[in-house]
Amino acid sequence: MNNKKVSFDAIMFALSYWLIFITFEGSFSVQVLFPILILMIIYKIFIDNNIKVKMDKGKRTLFYFIVALFISTITNLIIHIKYFNINTIIGLLYFVIIFLWYIVTTNKVYSDKEIKIIKTSYILTSVICSLFLIERFLSGQTGKIAMINLVNMEIDENYVSALIAMATLFIFQDILSINKKIGIKLINIIYLVINIFAVALSGSRAALIGLAIAMGLQYVIMFFEKVNLKRILKFIMIIVIITAIGIKVLEYIPTWTYNRYFNSNYADKSNSKRVFMWKNGMRGIMKKPLTGYSIRIFDKIPEFATINDFEIPDRVPAHQTYLDILIYSGLLGFIPFMLFLYYLFKEFLKKGRFKYIPMIFLFLFITNIIGAERSVFFGNTLIMLTIIKDNIDAKEKEKDKLNNSSNNNEIVVKDDEEKRIFN
C-alpha cells in the first residue's frame, strides 16, 4: 500500500480542489470538473488501457439513483411540459458528471502516499481560500464575507466554508496524531487558526457549529485510543488554547457576523426562509412522492414558486441536500441514494475506523442545512471517504493474507516435525 508511483487518478483528484480559484459557478458546482473527467476517461482508454469498472453495492445503488432521475425527467416532460427548459437538461447533466466522477475516481485502490498527497492538496486549498476571505475582511468587507476567486467570481459563503471546514478536520486529525513531528504540528496549528477564523467570518452557522462539534468528537475518539497523563495534559492545553483563540477572534468579528451567531433578533431572515423552503418542499413531495419533479421544474410551478413573499431559488428548491434529492427524483431515486450512503458510512463503524466518524458527522450536518448535492464539496467528500475506506479494506486484506500465510507455514513446519519424529 506504499507504492512510490503516484497515479494519474490521484493527481487529477488532488488538483480538482484548486478549481475553486477559476470556477464561474458561485456554488462551486461540478461543471468545473468536466474537463478533468474527460482527461481521466481519455487516459483510462488510450494510455492506461483500464476502463473496467468495478461495480459494488454502493456504486450500483448510485447508478439506480441516476436512472430514477432520468425517469423523473421523462415523466415531468409529459406532465409539466410548459415548465420544462434547457436548465433541466443541464441540471441532469450535472448529476451524470458527479456519477461518472465518482465511478472513475474510485475505480482503484489508492496508496497511503497518494491519499497523503490528496489530503495535503485539499488542506492547502482550504488555507488559501481562508486567506482570501480574511483579505476581504481586512479590506473593509462587512456582513457575510464571501470569497472572490481569481476570475472575479464570488463563491457562496456556505459552500466555501463547508470546503474549509472539512479540510480543517483533517488538519485537526494531524495535530492529534502522536506520530507527527513538532514542526509539522506547529504549521498545522497555524493552518487551524486561519481556517477557523475564516469560517467564523463567512457567517456560515452550519459550517462553524458543525466543525466545533466534530472537532470535539474527534478529540474524544482519538483521546480514548490511548489514555495517559500526557494526553490528559495535552487535552487541558488544547482547551485553554482554543478558548483563548476563540475569545480573541470574537474581538475582530464584525457586528453583523457576531449577531448572526449570537443574536436571534438580527435582520437576516435566512432561518425563517429556510424553514419555509423545507415545509414547501415536503408539501410538494407529498403530491408527487414516487418520481418527484426532476430538476429546475419544481420552482417554476406557481403552487410552489412563491408563497408569503419568499421566492424559491431555481437550483436548491428546499435548501437541504436530501430533501432536494427527494424533490428531484422522488422515492424512486431517494431510496437508492440513501442506501449508497448507508453502504459507505457503515464501513466506518468497524473497529479501527472510528476516527473518521467526525468527518461523516460534519458532512451530514452541513448537507442537512444547505443544498450541496451538485457541489464539488459534496462529490469530493464522498470520494474521499470512499478511497479512505478502500485503502483500509486493502490493508486489512493484506494483513489477513500475511497472517494466513504465516499460519500455513506453521502448520507445514509442525507436519514436517511430526513426520521426522515418526520416522
What is the per-residue pLDDT across 67-90, written as a single tens digit (0 to 9) for each? 999 999 999 888 878 888 888 898
Q: Tell me if 366 is assigned to some domain.
A: no
Q: Tell me if 64 is assigned to some domain.
A: yes
pLDDT on residue 266: 46
pLDDT tens digit sequence for 16-31: 999 999 999 889 999 8
Whether residue 252 sits in one domain with residue 196: yes
Domain final position from 233, 268, 303 = 268
Q: Which is more confidently placed, 34 or 307? A: 34
Q: Tell me if 123 is assigned to some domain.
A: yes
pLDDT on residue 16: 96
pLDDT tens digit sequence for 244-261: 766 666 666 666 565 555
| pLDDT at 204 > cutoff 60 | yes
Whether residue 174 sits in one domain with residue 29: yes
| pLDDT at 329 > cutoff 60 | yes
Whether residue 337 sits in one domain with residue 202: no
Q: Determine the average pLDDT of the residues in 343-358.
A: 89
Whether residue 403 sits in one domain with residue 330: yes
> What angle is formed at CA 399 by the lines to CA 393 and CA 404, rounded to 5 degrees?
125
pLDDT on residue 384: 97
Cα–Cα distances in Å, from 243 out to 121, 174, 193?
Answer: 29, 20, 12
Whether residue 177 sits in one domain with residue 47: yes
pLDDT tens digit sequence for 182-192: 888 899 999 99
Whether residue 347 sits in one domain with residue 200: no
pLDDT on residue 314: 52
Q: Which is more confidently placed, 303 or 151? A: 151
Whether residue 206 sits in one domain with residue 325: no
Q: Tell me if 376 is assigned to some domain.
A: no
Quote the CA–CA distance of 294 and 83 in Å, as a whole number.
11
pLDDT on residue 264: 52
Q: Tell me if 29 is assigned to some domain.
A: yes
Number of domains in the chain: 2
Q: Determine the average pLDDT of the residues in 385-413.
A: 80
| pLDDT at 53 > cutoff 90 | no
Q: Tell me if 364 is assigned to some domain.
A: no
Give the closest residue to 333 by CA, choosing from 288, 363, 368, 302: 288
Confidence of residue 39 (pLDDT cuts 50, 70, 90): very high
The structure's pTM equals 0.86
Q: Which is more confidently placed, 405 or 1? A: 405
pLDDT on residue 274: 76
Whether residue 155 sits in one domain with residue 25: yes
Q: Tell me if 11 is assigned to some domain.
A: yes
Whether residue 84 sits in one domain with residue 70: yes
Domain final position from 221, 241, 268 = 268
Quote the CA–CA distance of 10 and 233 in Å, as a whole number.
38
Q: Tell me if 63 is assigned to some domain.
A: yes
| pLDDT at 154 > cutoff 80 | yes
| pLDDT at 8 > cutoff 90 | yes
Q: Residue 32 class from Cβ within 10 Å (0-12 exposed, 13-18 middle, 19+ buried)?
A: middle
pLDDT tens digit sequence for 205-214: 889 899 999 9
| pLDDT at 366 > cutoff 90 | yes
| pLDDT at 422 > cutoff 70 | no
Domain range holding 312?
Answer: 56-88+101-109+270-357+389-423
| pLDDT at 46 > cutoff 50 | yes
pLDDT on residue 121: 97
Whether residue 197 sits in one domain with residue 82: no
**Quick one: cell of 196?**
477557523
| pLDDT at 265 > cutoff 60 | no
| pLDDT at 423 > cutoff 60 | no
Confidence of residue 262 (pLDDT cuts 50, 70, 90): low
Give the closest residue to 167 by CA, choosing from 187, 185, 136, 192: 192
Confidence of residue 228 (pLDDT cuts 50, 70, 90): low
Least confident of 39-48, 216-225, 304-313: 304-313
Quote the CA–CA distance of 260 and 258 in Å, as a whole number.
5
Domain final position from 268, 283, 307 = 268
Beta-carbon contacts of 158 under 8 Å, excluding residues fewer than 6 positions away, are 202, 204, 206, 207, 370
pLDDT on residue 229: 62
Q: Determine the average pLDDT of the residues in 147-157.
A: 92
CA–centroid distance for 333 within its chain: 20
Q: Determine the average pLDDT of the residues in 359-385.
A: 94
Whether residue 225 sits in one domain with residue 117: yes
Average pLDDT, the chain: 84
Share of the chain above pLDDT 90, in %: 48
pLDDT tens digit sequence for 123-142: 999 999 999 999 998 888 87
Whether residue 342 sits in one domain with residue 247: no
pLDDT on residue 261: 57
3-state SS assignment for residue 307? strand
pLDDT on residue 389: 95
Q: Determine the average pLDDT of the residues in 200-226.
A: 85
Share of the chain above pLDDT 70, in %: 81
Least confident of 260-269, 319-328, 397-406: 260-269
